[in-house]
Amino acid sequence: MLTELRREAYEANLALPAHGLVALNFGNASALDRRRGIFAIKPSGVDYPALRPAAMVLVDVEGRVVEGRLRPSSDTPTHAELYRGFAHIAGVVHTHSIHAIAFAQAGRPIPALGTTHADYFFGEVPVTRLLRKSEIAAAYEIETGRVIRETFARRDPAEFPGVLVNRHAPFAWGPTAAKAVENAVALELCARLALYTLLLAPGRGALERPLLERHFLRKHGAAAYYGQGPARR
C-alpha cells in the first residue's frame, strides 16, 4: 500500500546523510498523502545504509501505525502534530545538522543576515520556547510538535519553512518531502553563514528589509521570476 509514498519518504531519508545533515542513525523524514491522511516515516533507530523503501512505516495523522513491521521513529508524534497544524505541507524533516543545532543549543534564533537566508526564510528562523517540566514528563514528542505550532501562531509556515527546537535541533518542512529536505539544507547553510558572520561582526543586525523582500519574493512571491516555471517551495 502506498508504494510511491514509501519511496518518497525513503528517498528523503537517504538524502539526509547524503547532504551531511545527520550522523549515525539520527534524524528522520516523512512524506504525507494528505488526501488519505497517511504519512510514511523512517523506522526508529535504524542505520541509514540499512534502510529500504518497504521498511518505511505508514502512520495516520493522529500518530497511529497503519502498516509496517517496525516501530516508527520516536519523533513520529511530532511529525503528526505538524501535519495536523500546517495545512499546506506534505513533507517534514528532522535533522541533527551541526550549525543549526548550535543555534538551538544556544537558544538563539538564526538572524537573517544576508540574501542567502532571504532566498529561503522571510526573516529570522525562530527558536521555540523551552518545554515545561510537565510537558517533558508527559507526551514529550507531541508537546514538541505543539510548541512548534505555538511558535507559528503568528507566522506563516510557508514563509518560514523551518524552526529550531530549543536545546534540541531543527525541523523543516515543505509541500513535498524533497522540498523539506532542500529547506533543511538551506537552514543548515544559513546557520553556518550566520555563525561565521557573527564571529566577524558580533553585533551584526538583520539585513535591510527591502533586500529581504526582494530576494524572498523573487523566488517565492506571486511575481517570482527565479527558476524555469511558477514559483514553488
Active site residues per annotation = 119, 226
**The cell 537573517 sits on which residue?**
112
Output the smallest distance, CB 87 to its own copies, in A.
Answer: 26
* Contact string (CB under 8 A) for its own copies, positions 193-212, x = contact: xxxxxxxxx--x--xx-xx-
Task: Give ∠ CA 33-16-215 in degrees, rounded to 5.
Answer: 80
Q: Does 153 bind its own copies (CB under 8 A)?
A: no
Give the three cell numbers for residue 94: 528532522
Which C-beta is closer to its own copies: that of 87 or that of 230?
230
Footprint of its own copies on 4-63 (CB under 8 A): 23-24, 26, 43-46
State yes or no: residue 187 binds its own copies (CB under 8 A). no
233 binds its own copies (CB under 8 A): no
Is 185 a residue that touches its own copies (CB under 8 A)? yes
Stretch that binds its own copies, among 5-13, 78-86, 134-142, 149-157 (CB under 8 A): 134-142
CB of 85 to its own copies, least distance (A): 22
Contact residues: its own copies, CB under 8 A: 23-24, 26, 43-46, 70-71, 74, 96, 98-99, 101-108, 113-116, 130-131, 133, 136-137, 140, 167-169, 182, 185-186, 189, 192-201, 204, 207-208, 210-211, 214, 218, 225-228
